[in-house]
Structure 1
Amino acid sequence: MNQTERVSTKTLYKLVKQGMIDANKLHRKGKNNPKSHQETRGEINSCKTIHERDEQYPQASTNQEYGHFEGDTIVGKNRQSAIVTLVEKKSKHIVLLKASRKSQEVKEAMLNWLNEQMETAIKTFTFDCEKEFSKWKEIKQESQTPIEIFFSDPGAPG
């Protein structure tokens, strides 16, 4: 290749992956994070999946039994606020809880609502894999209502 030919950085890194170019000859050695952002919200590990819910509660996936809620968040303007949405699968009853995007506030909003619902037959919650729900173990332990919490597959809609 002569000096007048140009190659995109994407092409260069493809050639590195193929072993045709030594990675040490390139200026950037890895991903660049210009803002040096460090994630402070928790991670969701060792959780039960929606497949386990379907085995344990087969009527939950067919919407034949009351008490199975699905949760998500609606994020507000400039990503500063959020509303936790809980939808009961059989009746389509919707519960909206005001919270920020912080997992501690989501936990507190969930516990306040759950502890008011002691008479109802709440069995399960299924959340998506957002970090707002990373305090799910604390929600389960501190709730006065016995509940099971499951998570959907990452990147899977519905």
Structure 2
Amino acid sequence: MHFSRLRPIGPPALALLIAAVGCSPADDSGSAAVPSPDAKVAKLCGKLHEVLPAKVNGESREDPEPASALTAGWGSAAIILRCGVVQPPKMIDPKVATGSDPDALAGGVDGVDWLMEKQDGGSYRFTTANRSAYVEVTVAQGQDTSSVLVDLAPAVKKAIPAGIAD
């Protein structure tokens, strides 16, 4: 993985990342595709599932269907988390590393590094970087993404060790 080559972004760029995703639509189906990680990553994801908060951005926990220790949700489908996803192709894209991709930015929030990708339809997907497993969070329109990432950071730091995912 080449994510470590991404240049760190400073407070102004991070503020832009958070502000840019403050309003973003997402699918409201209440379902999420369950990832298929190897046993090592599945174990880490199980630990994450145990320490996830009951509320994120003021939204109560409402896990998507099908029920799985690899997925979680808050506010129906307002915030969907999937653990054990594959590495996003944008993590190795030189445009992201140089900051020239308008649909993807890298940055950190409370000790967790994230890749932010703008999705078709305007939603945003965040995927952890520099962790032993990839955790993906999709945030719906109207959600304060800065609060979402701040609320999830302690659980991610506790359950998913820093390192490079296979």
Question: TM-score under structure 2 normalisation?
Answer: 0.25
Q: Considering Cα pairs closer than 8 Å and 6+ residues apart, tell me whether 1 or 2 has the greater RCO.
A: 2
Question: TM-score under structure 1 normalisation?
Answer: 0.26
